[in-house]
């Protein structure tokens, strides 16, 4: 008999940071390129607090580097006016455990062979953003205010199509993997790329993965499309900030209310209680980092645009997200290929390397920085013209001039015909080397 095994709460803080990144990028792209010297999310639980970014340095130095864009999210917004409020989709009405039943859940991953399904409960989120533009002069403040007054829609709600990502409890991914014979807790080899292939082969929505680096943990996300319902209000030109009778900057402020759909919790559904017995689940997703809100940017048309591409016989293979370490800011960040490609296919790459066959015959890489593709450094032994490179000898990807405030996405394309042929040849060779199997 089908039943709900367990429930796990999504990490709302990750999705809120996701929305904050979209709002910041929306504003940045509404102005000329490189208009803002600094554009960041200002929050005590954001990636960087504004005071930490700007510091208490020389006022004249900061004045020369205006204008700034500061996005300050207010997360404790709770009202009954938002869309879908007080309906069975977002509010508990049923006389059932946890206040929900099977018919209020939306399916994501469904594996009929192993009788397991992952579904989610819909929530409606809302964030109020206080926006501040710090401008160089009174003239610039007047001109910019007039420009955005005409450019944006004020006091009327409108929608912007976006894609967001919601963190799935890792313990649920581990359980699904165990049922499918993939143990991602096994430290002897990295099984994460393998389970990513499995999940996306059984999912109605793309499942994405944020690669683990030195200080962060690996995380799994549901990638979904939705609309941001935005309302711009309260446009004001503030009082100039003064220090020692010298105008430091001229502020413009306004408010953006953002509403959006998001998974509120996840549910595992299936028919094999005995297998499930004894498995421990964390009811609430908790970040191990002290900073819980991370403005991760999600490329809106990623799977429509890039997953459909074929590059000279190479088809879309996988996509992995990463954010670099603050300690490597401006330097190199290294990503291990074993975090991106399953162990069996890594062995194919290693065999090609031993045979002096270019691995580029099997795999090709592309990289996105937030919402645009960045060039690759393809010229060895020279100063890099691009912002990243593939190091086939060490089986790694190196990101140059890394920025911890942006989101990188590594796109992989594979020549599956050649890859499968090469893997089959390796298997045949292995059988011939074993007595009695040749």
Measure the CA–CA gap between 20 and 295, rounded to whole angstroms: 6
Q: Residue 310: exposed, middle, or buried by beta-carbon count in 10 A (0-12, 13-18, 19+)?
A: exposed
With CA atoms as reference, report the closest residue to 133 among 85, 66, 182: 66
Judged by phi (left if over 0) then psi (alpha if -120 to 50, else beta), residue 354 lies in: alpha
Q: Is there a contact between 52 and 45 (Cβ–Cβ < 8 Å)?
A: no
Domain ranges for the chain, please list them.
3-276, 302-433
Task: Name every residue whose Cβ is closer than 8 Å to that of residue 343 and which is 6 or more positions away in sequence.
Answer: 189, 190, 191, 193, 194
Measure the CA–CA gap between 375 and 2, rounded to whole angstroms: 50
Cis check: omega of the bond before 67, within 30 degrees of 0: yes
With CA atoms as reference, report the closest residue to 302 among 396, 407, 191: 407
What spatial distance separates the first Cα and last Cα of the chain, rounded to whole Å? Answer: 47
Give, for 19, the enclosing helix (H) or strand (E).
helix 12-28
Beta strand pairing call for 310-311 and 158-168: unpaired
> φ and ψ at 146, to 5 degrees?
-65, -40
Helical ranges in 59-181 per DSSP H: 59-64, 138-151, 170-179
Model's pTM, two decimal places? 0.83
Q: Is there a contact between 137 and 250 (Cβ–Cβ < 8 Å)?
A: yes
Measure the CA–CA gap between 87 and 85, rounded to whole angstroms: 6
With CA atoms as reference, report the closest residue to 111 among 176, 168, 171: 176
Place of tokens 């089908």: 2
pLDDT in single tens digits along all 438 residues of the chain: 677 778 888 888 888 889 999 999 999 999 998 899 888 887 654 444 455 555 545 454 455 578 989 998 887 656 666 666 666 666 666 555 555 677 788 999 999 888 889 999 888 888 999 999 999 888 999 999 999 999 999 999 999 999 999 999 888 899 899 888 999 988 777 899 999 999 999 999 999 999 876 555 778 999 999 999 999 999 999 888 766 555 578 999 999 999 999 998 898 888 766 565 556 565 555 554 444 466 789 998 899 888 876 767 789 999 999 888 888 888 999 999 999 999 889 989 888 888 888 888 899 999 999 989 999 876 554 444 678 999 998 999 999 999 888 899 999 999 988 888 888 887 766 555 544 444
Say how many C-beta atoms besides its own lie within 10 A of residue 105's C-beta.
Answer: 22
């Amino acid at each position: 008999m089908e039943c709900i095994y367990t429930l796990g709460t999504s990490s709302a803080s990750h999705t809120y940071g996701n929305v904050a990144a979209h709002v910041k990028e929306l504003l940045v792209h509404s102005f000329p390129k490189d208009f803002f010297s600094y554009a960041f999310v200002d929050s005590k639980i954001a990636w960087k607090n504004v005071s930490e970014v700007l510091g208490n340095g020389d006022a004249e130095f900061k004045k020369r580097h205006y204008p700034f864009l500061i996005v300050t999210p207010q997360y404790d917004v709770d009202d009954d006016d938002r869309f879908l409020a007080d309906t069975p989709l977002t509010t508990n009405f049923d006389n059932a455990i946890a206040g929900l039943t099977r018919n209020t859940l939306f399916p994501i991953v469904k594996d009929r062979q192993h009788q397991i399904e992952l579904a989610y409960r819909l929530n409606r989120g809302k964030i109020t953003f206080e926006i501040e533009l710090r401008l160089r002069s009174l003239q610039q403040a007047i001109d910019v205010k007039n420009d955005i007054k005409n450019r944006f829609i004020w006091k009327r709600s409108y929608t912007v199509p976006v894609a967001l990502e919601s963190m799935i409890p890792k313990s649920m991914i581990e359980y699904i993997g165990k049922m499918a014979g993939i143990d991602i807790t096994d430290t002897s080899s990295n099984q994460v790329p393998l389970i990513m292939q499995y999940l996306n082969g059984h999912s109605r929505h793309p499942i994405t993965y944020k690669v683990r680096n030195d200080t962060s943990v690996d995380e799994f996300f549901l990638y979904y499309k939705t609309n941001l319902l935005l309302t711009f209000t309260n446009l004001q030109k503030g009082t100039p900030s003064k220090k020692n009778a010298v105008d430091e900057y001229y502020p413009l402020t306004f408010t953006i209310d953002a509403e959006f759909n998001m998974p509120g919790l996840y549910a595992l559904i299936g028919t094999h209680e005995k297998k499930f017995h004894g498995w421990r689940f964390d009811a609430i997703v908790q970040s191990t980092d002290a900073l819980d809100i991370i403005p991760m940017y999600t490329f809106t048309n990623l799977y429509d645009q890039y997953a459909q591409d074929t590059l000279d016989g190479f088809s879309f293979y996988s996509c992995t997200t990463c954010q670099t370490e603050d300690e490597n800011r401006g330097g190199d960040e290294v990503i291990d290929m074993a975090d991106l490609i399953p162990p069996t296919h890594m062995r194919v790459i290693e065999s090609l390397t031993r045979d002096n066959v270019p691995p580029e015959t099997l795999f090709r890489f592309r990289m996105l920085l937030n919402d645009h593709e960045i060039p690759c450094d393809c010229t060895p032994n020279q100063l890099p013209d691009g912002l990243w490179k593939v190091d086939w000898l060490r089986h790694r990807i190196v990101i140059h001039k890394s920025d911890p405030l942006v989101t990188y996405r590594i796109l992989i394309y594979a020549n599956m015909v050649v890859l499968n042929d090469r893997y089959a040849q390796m298997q045949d060779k292995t059988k011939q080397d074993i007595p009695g199997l040749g």
